[in-house]
Chain A
Amino acid sequence: MVQEATNGGSEKSQLAITVEQLIAVNPYNPDILPDLENYVNEQVLSQTYNLDANLCLLRLYQFEPDRMSTPIVARILVKALMAMPAPDYSLCLFLIPDRVQIEEQFKTLNVLSHFLETARFRQFWDEAAKSRHIVEAVSGFEQAIRAYAVHVLSITYQKVPRTILAEAINIEGVSLDKFLEHQVSNNGWVVEKGQGKGQVITLPPTEFNHPELKKNTADSVPLEHITRIFPILG
């Protein structure tokens, strides 16, 4: 989801096009390793993301452990965290040997991932604040995590207390007012007075927080199946 948002609109860079072509021609070619590394750095700077290219690089590292660059691996992992709720972080870890994962920077990232996976946002933001050097190196990090937090809130809540929202996205006071204002005018959020203490935010309805919106796909029949009886109908 985050991926689409960042990849969409803007035009692809020359490097992105080149790397995608290289992978299409031969994904199992060790010679493209430096290009893939440069591409990771570009993704970090330009807020773009390409999971396939990054997995391709991790695979080449897996084949040739001597060529592995841990700073690059760390950047890939931060980008993968930013792609939540997609399981990209695990997909990357599956390819990173244990002896590398026990390095301090990866331990920290694993902790951050754990807090996000278990929706412990307060702990996440506290831990992230302690590891600024890792996460601030990648632009758009906070926005991406906020988008994930909003995603989890929206599939869980119809109405969420303001305090819970504030904690999940780590914004308070006037900044939160601004954030809410933006969401109200752009994304259909509604801010109301709650029963008793504080504000309550009504999140836009989806099939996950408003089950009655769920299309009963079981009742629909795909066109290909209908075509089977065309000769009979005709």
Chain B
Amino acid sequence: MAAPYEYEEGGYPQETDAVGYDPNFVPDSVKSFVVHLYRHIREKNVYEIHQMYETSFQTLSERMFKETPWPSVDAVAPYVDNDHVFCLLYREMWFRHLYARLSPTLRQRIDSWDNYCSLFQVVLHGVVNMQLPNQWLWDMVDEFVYQFQAFCQYRAKMKSKTAEEIALLRQYDQAWNVYGVLNFLQALVEKSTIIQILEREKEGLEEFTATDGYDYSGGSNVLKVLGYFSMIGLLRVHCLLGDYHTGLKCLRPIDITQQGVYTSVIGSHITTIYHYGFANLMLRRYVEAIHEFNKILLYIYKTKQYHQKSPQYEQILKKNEQMYALLAIALSLCPQVKLVEETVNSQLREKYGEKMARMLRYDEEASALYDELFSYACPKFITPSAPSFEEPLVNYNQDAYRLQLKMFLYEVKQQQLLAGVRSYLKVYSTISLGKLANYMDLDEPNLRAVLMTYKHKTHAVDSDGKIISNADVDFYIDEDMVRVVESKSAKKYGDYFLRQIVKLEGIMTDIDRIKLE
């Protein structure tokens, strides 16, 4: 699978190469960086590794490698005892930096794939005894899926390919092959036995979440945590393929109603909820989507100031905006505003209030708005199959996105009359079918169909096959009379009292400790 690396020859087709970049030149600061990072990794000093990974690497990139790649791995290898695993990790960062700042050539894309193959194979064979920060392990999975997505997009633009690129694509048809990508993620999940670990944890037989996945008894966290994050990777890949059901299934071992290792890294937290919410939106489980978007948007609102200096900050803001757009869509189709917290709601009104008002009407303009918001906020869908190399070469990079968009707008269209039904149900407690038909300018058979559509579309099927109601306004028909059911806002008193009891107990314990002199 692995192609021979061609660093030695220096015959690397470097389109991205800035003038004066010498891959073999290692500045002192880089020397010191790799020497220290290597030492901290050997000493399993997670705190220092994290500092160097999150801060030093970014600072150096910003200062010295703004427009050029980092020194080649061969040039730094002598400073780290030519350590095989360290070199794989270094190259992984090397490519990540290249993807973020420059545009990779096809050859580089293929080499990066080979590097992931080598890296994951080392991890899967269990010979890694390192302890790496969760942030880094998450970034690996995240970047792996990102580069796969980027490769599919790149490959689908066939029209602009040179003969040389086409020859390379044919020769290295295993690079970023969809089976390979899925099988690596799946292998990491299985080999790590993470699903069983999470099961055992529920019975109190194992600790994983409590230690944030770290292993404090001398072992390595790498395989376990990569396996854990791979479940989120699988959710994302399946969403990119339009397979929402399977995506959610892959995530099921992680209980997203609770904090977990996925919330220990902001990027993983956001990626999880974004894809989880999107998949639920496509499955018409609107309440579930609204619920989770609300929670994460509130969380981002409260914590984003702490991430301002983080390299992920821009990405956090982008996903934040996209999730507001998805929330606007979900609330337009299912106006359960009471599920949304006040801060989130006011942000939403500010961003989309005016558009949401127009989305309620069903006309051409509303449809265009659904189109706009969906296109802005949806994942970057991919076509996973290899292109046809027959002339004439065609671009197919938009195909997957267009299909998902078309299906979504079709769903919106099927619900087009429901907003009208809603507005009448809100002002009546009882109304005859004849009268309602008259108001809505429909004949009675059509009205009955619209009312049943309302019921069907607001009653989704959950993952266990149970019917769940998403209805904000509900009703039933008694022969020819529509009887509207007032929805009472449900407050969770139980949980509130429980928390107060625990709090009071804490205060009383504190008071007991005070000894009056």
Contact = CB atoms under 8 A, between A and B. Distances in A.
Interface of A: 1, 3-4, 26-30, 51-52, 55-56, 59, 62-65, 85-87, 90-91, 93-95, 97-98, 114, 117-120, 122, 152-153, 155-161, 164, 194-195, 200, 207-211, 216-221, 225-226, 228-229, 232
A94 B179 contact: no
**What is the interface residue range for chain B against chain A?**
35 or more
Contact of A28 (B179, B453, B456, B498): B179
Nearest to B180: A28
B452 to A, nearest CB: 4
B283 A87 contact: yes
B485 A200 contact: no
Given A94-B282, A229-B498, 5 more contacts: A28-B179, A28-B183, A59-B243, A119-B452, A229-B501
A228 B498 contact: yes
Contacts of A226: 498
B243 A225 contact: no
A211 B498 CA distance: 28
Contacts of B414: 114, 117-118
A164 B452 CA distance: 12
Contacts of A90: 282, 407, 411
The 8 lowest CB-CB distance pairs between A and B, nearest first, are: A218-B490, A119-B452, A221-B494, A94-B242, A28-B182, A211-B485, A86-B461, A209-B476
Listed residue (B399, B404, B460, B477) with the most chain A CB atoms within 10 angstroms of its CB: B477
Interface string B483-517: 00100001111110010011001000000000000
A90 B414 CA distance: 13
B472 to A, nearest CB: 13
A146 to B, nearest CB: 15
Contacts of A119: 448-450, 452-453, 456
A92 to B, nearest CB: 10
Nearest to B445: A122
A11 B201 CA distance: 34
Nearest to A226: B498
Contacts of B407: 90, 93-94
A118 B498 contact: no
Contacts of A159: 477-479
Given A86-B461, A97-B403, A156-B451, A232 B505 contact: yes
B217 interface: no
Nearest to A207: B469
B449 A120 contact: yes
Given A63-B385, A98-B402, A195-B479, A155 B493 contact: no
